[in-house]
Homo-oligomer: A and B are copies of this chain.
Amino acid sequence: MLKRKICVVVTARPSYSRIKTALTAINEHPELELQLVIAGSALLDRYGNAVDFIEKDGFEIAAKVFMVLEGENPTTMAKTTGLGVMELTNVFYNLKPDAVLTIADRFETIATSIAAAYQNIPLVHIQGGEVTGSIDEKVRHANTKLADLHLVASEDARDRVIKLGEIPEKVINTGCPSIDLVKEILKSPKLDFDPIEKYGGVGSKLDWKTGYIVVMQHPVTTEYQQAKSHITETLKAIKKLDLPTFWFWPNVDAGSDGTSNGIRTFREIEKPKNIHFFKNMEPKDFLRLLKNSKALVGNSSAGLRECAYLGVPVVNIGNRQYRRIRAKNVTDVNYDLDKILKATQKSINTKHFESSEIYGKGNSGENIAEILATSELTYSKTITY
């Protein structure tokens, strides 16, 4: 029997975490063959070299595509996307997949969508239908309009994709594969490694065993200019909080230079003693780190997704996650030292929350593989209204 060839394009470190269990399930499914393409910042050292983790996890890579233009501004984001369309078109043309899978809403994911849709390859979109601020909002819904099959992460998202004129049978709530990993690590949730010893990083040696928080704050593309001032508010709040803190560098985006720059400047001048910086961490280690933390601060989607299931308190800053569905563990605040500080103080004094299944029950990867193996694959559609 001929296996269905499913081509998945991973363009960034966080996308890998979100899709990993689905990759495993596709690989193991008797009727599917995985064609894994690694592109964009997932190949770059400065953004945590996700490709190394992927190869270490045993996945075979069908093609690698360098496509990130340097500059980290709106112009290079657009050019990166154009380059991605051209290169991925070529890759798909030569790999001849039966379906292509594009992930979520990063700016370059539309390159995957165009390269597939224009070549009449059925396009599957994972994690559409959510709502946020920034350019991601435009990209995500444009991906939906280019895609033929929608595997969404929540009921809320499913309703929205259907409202966008998609055929209800083509919109399936599989939950988010990132929750699968969470479920797995909850079987042995203990922090079984020393983060600084294992991952190095820079900054102060911390006495984190008595309690720590985690910070992860990305620039928001439509607020490109403000990236530096935004991150500085958070830095000041965390310094003032004076609790051991593990801080993760932002991923590739217009403005990440503003964010990185802000962090570097603050470090040089303020020399905060309670912060240690990491570039990257293996997903499972990261989840255990979160699970054992007092709170997550920043604007990472992990705060809404993984932390919902983990029950970890989250201080979500600014409007990067604007209107994305959230469980009770999330407190929203503005870019404001005082508000960030107060919300974080309150969070660290709160008990962890009960696990919420709004983003899935921990079996999403298998769901996705099964749907890819069995559902009808089409590449033409018409709006429902």
Contacts and interface: CB of A to CB of B under 8 A. Distances in A.
B222 A379 contact: yes
Nearest to A89: B78
A138 B145 contact: yes
Nearest to A141: B145
A138 B82 contact: no
A85 B78 contact: yes
Contacts of A83: 69, 79, 82-83, 86
Interface residues of A, number: 72
Contacts of A63: 90, 94
A262 interface: no
A226 interface: no
A165 B70 CA distance: 34
A294 B311 CA distance: 63
Given A65-B90, A138-B117, A165-B164, A82 B82 contact: yes
A212 B142 CA distance: 44
Nearest to A118: B78
A382 B144 CA distance: 15
Contacts of A68: 69-71
B385 A160 contact: yes
Given A71-B44, A145-B141, A323-B382, A85 B89 contact: no
Nearest to A138: B146
A43 interface: yes
A132 B224 CA distance: 37
Contacts of A69: 66-70, 83
22 contacts: A41-B70, A65-B90, A66-B70, A69-B69, A74-B120, A75-B90, A78-B115, A78-B119, A79-B85, A79-B89, A82-B86, A82-B114, A86-B87, A87-B87, A90-B90, A107-B118, A117-B138, A118-B135, A137-B383, A145-B145, A163-B165, A222-B380
